[in-house]
Structure 1
């Protein structure tokens, strides 16, 4: 089979596109013919060695795939359209190949009528959003959620899942994204560049925010704690660009909490729960990506380079074997 792989960790130029032996499924694994795979920021972190995780070499890069079952096994029938978003780390080979072996407990059926190319673009951000909101944020119906950076891929999925759960959503985004975020169901959208951002958000949530999630990585914990409701939860889901200050006294007096979350640490049960929720919204016509670029699998190295140089700007790139 042809695949995009590396023989050691390092820069994008180390990615090779060529022939590797077909993978052979073991017990509890399913062989999948790959239709499409997406490139995620975490793929570059694994390939470069920034995110340390056990890897076999030569190592096929990539986390997400959608494909068809090549041979029956582990409860899956040949020809079924399936997906996975947790390959390419913790000893598992990646998805950027013509064929992949997927553990059965990490493989999910794609709902009928859903476009595979569009779907693979949303698996990673959508699962991230679901786990952040529910597994780690404990979101309940009727609560107020603040989504920072709602115009992005994860931010948009956060809005859709929260609205679907009957929560009230406040969002921040660049003005160019306000109409889109409102179309997803946000009750109010505020320009995150506003000088009086905290005051405007506080006026919109006079009783406080129950779940606060900022996708930007800025992690302004001082402002976040100030906006929290009693027993509000802050979910930190990306690395801070500097060292944030946590106002412990205010957090303590509100019975508040700050919880870190990385999708790579999710259990198979948590991933399966997220997958069911993702499939439900996909089947309902939601979670559609805003902008998708399609490239051949041979372009993997170029796409990794573009991502690291900041050229994609929220665009999702889908690679096709």
Structure 2
């Protein structure tokens, strides 16, 4: 089968189309014929060798996909060949391939009416946003939430989930165009952080909240922005840190959050699943919302599998909006 592999760490050009043996599903596994695979920042970090959890080479990337069941291993029930599915994590060799063997515990049937390209962009970003807002931050109707990097895959998911919960949403992004676009998914305010750099972004959130600060700040940026997030949250608020795309350390002053009795949560999906979290119930609920038209999964660009390097180059420009997807079937 066709796959895209890296044999050395580096830039997008190390992503190389290759022919590899077809995987065989073992006990408890499902063989998925990949139609589309989502491209994530974790993929780019793993490719560059800067991901915090090193993986050995050679390596086929890919954390999420949509497709059809090609075969099932011993002991698998409820999933039959030909079924349309979404899958996330634990794939052999990885989802940048035409076929992938995945633990059945990471596979969810795809509801009718959901486009496979949109489905391929759901498992990582949407489960992340859902878990962070509902399970960690425990966002409630009437609260105010700031979504940093609101034009990203996680950001657009978070804006919609928070708005559907009944929260007031401030969508923050690094240009007026991206902030305004993200606000179109249900946010009440758009915050262009290029116009309000550094401390000015903190002051703007305080102004928008009448000086109280936000109840929840969802931070997918890290670096200096995480320190700002701590200052943007109000008394008794919650900050959830889920990424560091800035790739810089954060200088934190504990006085920015402990006098407010604020709490700080860390989130990393792979580790959470490894420690027992079953993403399937949440993913089923999200997929039902997409099927019903409650949520939209914006896909900005699709690339053929053998052009994965172009997809990574676009991702790393940080100019994209929503999700980037690879198509594995001609």
TM-score (norm 2): 0.85
Q: Is the 8 A contact 2:90 2:103 kept in 1?
A: no
Q: Is the 8 A contact 2:147 2:170 kept in 1?
A: yes
Number of the residue aligned with 1:300:
308
1:317 and 2:325 matched: yes
Pair 1:28 & 2:28 matched: yes
Residue 249 (structure 2) pairs with residue 246 (structure 1): no
* 2: CA distance, partners of 1:141 / 1:152: 23
For the pair 1:282 / 2:287, whether they are aligned, the reply is no
Q: Structure 2 vs 1, CA of residues 185 and 70 (structure 1 numbering), >3 Å: closer, same or farther?
A: same
Q: Which moved more, 1:206-215 or 1:21-30?
A: 206-215
CA distance in 2, matches of 1:311, 1:242: 16
Q: Give distance in 1, aligned partners of 2:29 and 2:327.
A: 23
Alignment of 1:43-58 (within 5 A): 43-51=43-51, 53=53, 55=55, 58=58
Is 1:272 the counterpart of 2:277? The answer is no
- Whole-Å Cα distance in 1 between the matches of residues 315 and 137 of structure 2? 29
> What secondary structure is seen at the aligned counterpart in 1 of 2:50?
coil
SS in 2 for 1:111: coil
User: Match for residue 185 of structure 1?
Assistant: 186
Structure 1 residue 80, shift from structure 2 partner: 0.8
**Once structures 1 and 2 are overlaid, which stretch shifts more, 8-17 or 73-82?**
8-17
- Structure-2 change in CA distance of 1:67 and 1:243 (3 Å): closer
SS where residue 71 of structure 1 aligns?
Answer: strand
TM-superposed deviation, 1:23: 0.8
Distance 1:14 1:228, change over 3 A: closer
Change (3 A) 1:228 1:304: closer
Match of 1:140, SS? coil
Structure 2 residue ranges without an equivalent (≥5): none
Separation in structure 2 between the aligned mates of residue 80 and residue 230 of structure 1, nearest angstrom? 48
CA distance in 2, matches of 1:182, 1:312: 16
Aligned counterpart, 1:80: 83
Shift of 1:287: 4.1
TM superposition shift of 1:69: 0.8
Unpaired runs of at least 5, structure 1:
none
Q: Tell me the secondary structure at the aligned position of residue 187 of structure 2.
A: coil
Using a 3 Å threshold, how does the CA distance of structure 1 residues 80 and 49 change in structure 2: closer, same or farther? Answer: same
Deviation at 1:270, TM superposition (A): 4.7
Residue aligned with 2:102, SS: strand
| Corresponding position of 2:221 | 216
**2:211 corresponds to 1:201:** no
Cα pair 1:86 1:106 within 8 Å, conserved: yes
Aligned pair count? 317
C-alpha distance in 1, partners of 2:285/2:47? 29
Give distance in 2, aligned partners of 1:167 and 1:110.
28
Asked whether the equivalents of residues 122 and 288 of structure 1 are also in contact (C-alpha less than 8 Å), the reply is no
Q: Aligned runs of 1:110-121 on 2, under 5 Å?
A: 110-121=110-121
Q: In structure 2, what is the equivalent of residue 101 of structure 1?
A: 101
Q: Deviations over 1:179-206 (max 9, x none)?
A: 4333322122232234443333213223
- Determine if contact 2:242/2:268 at 8 Å carries over to the other structure: yes
CA RMSD, 1 decimal: 2.6
Q: Distance between the aligned counterparts of 1:172 and 1:28, measured in 2?
A: 42
Q: Which stretch has the larger CA shift, 46-55 or 136-145?
A: 46-55
Q: SS of the counterpart of 2:279?
A: helix
Whether the aligned pair in 1 keeps the contact of 2:222 and 2:250 (CA below 8 Å) is no
